[in-house]
Amino acid sequence: MRLILLGPPGAGKGTQAKILLEAYGIPQLSTGDILRSAISARTPLGLEAKAVVDRGDLVSDAIVNGIVSERLDAEDCKPGFILDGFPRTIAQAEALDQILAEKGVRLDAVVEMTVNPDELVRRVIQRSKESDGARADDNEDVLRKRLGIYQEQTAPLVAYYRGKGLLKTVDGMEPVESVTAAIKAAIAQ
Ligand code: AMP
């Protein structure tokens, strides 16, 4: 199963990816998580990305494409993977097409999770309280910027994947278990 979870910050991509990885026995590949661990470990990648991530901008396509391409070569990605937070631009989606073509594999589905903007803000503020401010980008100002970038740069992926016949849309406002069930049903179609 090769899956992309698509949706704005706070849509529940990470939550669902963690549930689905157990159900399908495939890894979650979150570019945000990879960048955050590089930042806390102060690797060269982390040092380069920190300011960009903290202010809510997108890290360059070259950097994230490289992260994903390398990660997909790992043995645990052979049976499949769940991409969470990548691709985020049309250029990244095109790069992913090329990466997958080179590896001789195809995506099975792209699941778009829709949640209304007020609820996104509520969830991210809640996440920041629960994590005790661990994510510098989970405050209201930076979040609004991230939502704007999502609308401008990531939302066009909905049409991109619809055009490829891969898009499934689920209502991310439902309780976690219902969203999981809806994703499983959409994938099984
Ligand atoms: P996330 O955990 O997916 O919300 O990502 C947190 C931050 O990491 C984003 O606001 C970006 O700064 C950076 N990031 C994560 N994934 C990507 C990506 N695919 N392209 C560019 N920047 C990314």
Per-residue pLDDT tens digits for 64-84: 999 999 999 999 999 999 999
Tell me which residues have their CB closer than 6 angstroms to ligand 1: 9, 31-32, 35, 52-53, 56-59, 64, 85-86, 88, 92, 137, 146
pLDDT of 137 > 90? The answer is no
Angle of CA points 39, 11, 176, to nearest 5°: 115
Residue 56: name the closest of 121, 147, 151 by CA. Answer: 147
Distance (angstroms) between ligand 1 centre and the Cα of 32 equals 5
Whole-number pLDDT of residue 181: 98
Indicate the top mutation candidate among 59, 127, 131 to test ligand 1's pocket, ranked by most ligand atoms within 8 A of CB.
Answer: 59
d(CA 101, CA 115): 32
Tokens standing for residue 121 = 């803000």
Residue 8: name the closest of 163, 181, 158 by CA. Answer: 158
- Residue minimizing CA distance to atom 12 of ligand 1: 53
Percent of the chain with pLDDT over 90: 88
- Chain mean pLDDT for the chain: 95
